[in-house]
Structure 1
Amino acid sequence: MFTFIAQSEVSMKKHLKISLAVLLSFVIIAIGYTIYIYRAMEKTAEEMQITFEETEKKETAETGEIERSLTFLLLGIGDRPKIGDPGRADSIIVVSLNPAVKNALMFNIPRDSRVEIVGKDKMDKINHAYAYGGTEMMKKTVERFLNHSIDYVVQTNMEGLTQLVDVFGGIEVVNDFAFNQMDQYGRKKHHYDKGQIQLDGERALHYTRMRKSDPKGDLGRNERQRQVLTILLQKTASLSSVFKIEEILNIMGKNIKTNISFEEMKSFFLQFKKDWNDYQIESLEITGSNQMIQGIYYYHVSEEERDLVSAQLKEHAAAE
């Protein structure tokens, strides 16, 4: 009997050692994977980096938390079939984040808005600023238009949007009315039913591009763009995105450019992952009128409307 007990104790100790060894192995693997992901994130951040002249960005607190409001410019760059054409900023979204009141203000600048292109000394459609001088000219032109500084720019091409939606297994949106939309080559027709619908990457792209069948035109398209962006932000902040991190990093490295540093990315991710569900998202529309000048269509935004939007942006940033 004593021999049996002694053998059992030895057996238990052996199993305990094996269990501890297995547990330790998993811990080592987890640490190794964390280090790998960390380095992969750092490498991706380096690939995404762009810099601007005379840029003063707001500092985060010593704790790494954001204590002041920040303004982001989100640019969706449309591909052009012509070789050598840098494309246009087909989507121009401004987001003001105010952590003091847990509030986000999001609005589109209509891409056909006739504005002064900074650095070209001419009036033209605002989305042409990207074709003339890239991201920096686009940023300066938006700042002049809004009379408000931009802290960060996040620029992506449309292929990046398509891939990101697919990584998350598609998205669900509530569509206000049924419509058809052709692809950019006029070959494939996509049908969108009214109500809650499921979109893969390609269908999400054309969903955000449609304007001709929308009674609100550009304003309706702007609403769909903000709708898809909000859903992607929510998915990125969710726990499920952790398991997609490698795919997301690969997509970001190839398709996104930004002046957000790696350290800032970490601070933003940690804070908004914790607080994003508490944020209220508000939107506004920049109203204007259609205008034809020498046979070219523009969207005319009055000085009064620009002043109003600028004042709302400043008020949101200063709220406590």
Structure 2
Amino acid sequence: MRAEKRKKKKKILITIIALIAVFVFTTGGYAYYLWQKAASTVANIHQPIEKSKKRNSDIDINNQDPFSVLIMGVDERKNDKGRADSLIYMTVNAKTKTTEMVSIPRDTYTEIIGRGKTDKINHSYAFGGVQMTVDTVENLLDVPVDYFIKVNMESFRDTVDTLGGVKVNSKFAFNFEGHSFAKGNITLNGDEALAYTRMRKQDPNGDFGRQDRQRQVIEGIINEGASISSVTKFSDMFNVIEKNVKTNLTFDDMWDIQSGYKDARSNIIQHQLKGNGTKINGIYYYKVDDSSLSGITAKLKQNLDLKK
């Protein structure tokens, strides 16, 4: 029975969508070991959140119900609780084979749910952790957050170094934090990848350009992760994930999503929250345009099969 199970799962693929989440693949005699190690890792990074009040009923992944996930890139440094500097909300629909994605600028001026004040959305994590950030995003976009993946942005360094570097396509040349980045296709080590994803003020597209560079690094990590072949690298990657990732996804959830929703990755539609920068009491904020927000909300709800 066990031998049959090993044969069926000879190639293991577990995808933790996020930003850093590379899960893996292999064939050969150590496949069962990796399966157990992956399950153990996911159990250790599991963190539950409250059920969304935007849902009237539970979703059923086995039935391929559309679902949403909020990816939180948190810049947690020593002696600093951190802020959610990268927020990417996605809806995934297996039946239409479509993933809708919107990045939320870190300076977005909005109500912080549970705090009783209006502030930059990235402060929600510092005020109330994952739950307050989830509640605030739900309120801003008027959509449910079914799952979240929180990644410590510092882990970019360890992840990239474990993989031996990642390839990106820099849209312009710039210098940042002691590193020089040429225009075009370049390969980054861990320190360079972290700096590449942090630079914002020199980018003509501001926060949107920064988010694009973060996505490039994540894609590079996934591409490099798919070619991992040694047990040592697998073990190192699991250790990085265990130290830097939290999610309410279970191991079974991940397996069901990988097997039942993989076609939705072939059609990714990205949206941009249009708005304008402004200063209030000398502090910079990004105020989202109401018509842009309502239009994106409608598209996200449609992909979740929710009423507008």
Asked if residue 279 in structure 1 is aligned to residue 266 in structure 2, the reply is yes
Secondary structure of 2:277 counterpart: strand
Distance 1:154 1:36 in 2: 25
Asked if residue 179 in structure 1 is aligned to residue 168 in structure 2, the reply is no
Distance 1:242 1:113, change over 3 A: farther
Match of 1:89 in 2: 84
**Is the contact made by 1:96 and 1:313 (CA closer than 8 Å) also made in structure 2?**
yes
Distance 1:94 1:230, change over 3 A: farther
Secondary structure of 2:154 counterpart: helix
Asked if residue 299 in structure 1 is aligned to residue 286 in structure 2, the reply is yes
AA in 2 matched with 1:253? E
Secondary structure of 1:196 counterpart: strand
Match of 1:249 among 238, 245, 266: 238
Asked if residue 33 in structure 1 is aligned to residue 30 in structure 2, the reply is yes
Secondary structure of 1:191 counterpart: strand
Match of 2:17 in 1: none
Match of 1:170 among 165, 174, 185: 165
Asked if residue 259 in structure 1 is aligned to residue 215 in structure 2, the reply is no
**Is the contact made by 2:197 and 2:213 (CA closer than 8 Å) also made in structure 1?**
yes
CA-to-aligned-CA distance 1:24-67 (integer Å, 9 cap, x gap): xxx9xx99734432332222112101111234752222xxxx62
Secondary structure of 2:61 counterpart: coil
Match of 1:79 among 69, 76, 79: 76
Distance 1:235 1:101 in 2: 29
Match of 2:118 in 1: 123
Asked if residue 48 in structure 1 is aligned to residue 45 in structure 2, the reply is yes
Distance 1:241 1:93, change over 3 A: farther
Match of 2:67 in 1: 70
Bigger-Rg structure (1/2): 1
1:209-228 matches, within 5 Å, as 209-228=198-217
Distance 1:53 1:107 in 2: 22
CA offset at residue 307 of structure 1?
Answer: 0.9
Match of 1:134 in 2: 129
CA offset at residue 280 of structure 1?
Answer: 2.3
Match of 2:59 in 1: 58
CA-to-aligned-CA distance 1:182-227 (integer Å, 9 cap, x gap): 2xxxxxx111101111112221111111111111111211221222
AA in 1 matched with 2:282? G
CA-to-aligned-CA distance 1:226-262 (integer Å, 9 cap, x gap): 22223334444x3547854322211111110000011
Distance 1:88 1:311 in 2: 28
AA in 2 matched with 1:74? I
AA in 2 matched with 1:303? D
AA in 1 matched with 2:216? Q
Secondary structure of 1:43 counterpart: helix
Distance 1:160 1:270 in 2: 27
5+ residue gaps, structure 2? 1-9, 11-26
CA offset at residue 314 of structure 1?
Answer: 1.8
Distance 1:106 1:200, change over 3 A: farther
Decide which structure has greater helix share.
Answer: 1
AA in 1 matched with 2:147? Y
Asked if residue 308 in structure 1 is aligned to residue 295 in structure 2, the reply is yes
Distance 1:290 1:38, change over 3 A: same
5+ residue gaps, structure 1? 1-26, 183-188
Match of 1:191 in 2: 180
Secondary structure of 1:284 counterpart: strand
Distance 1:268 1:246 in 2: 23
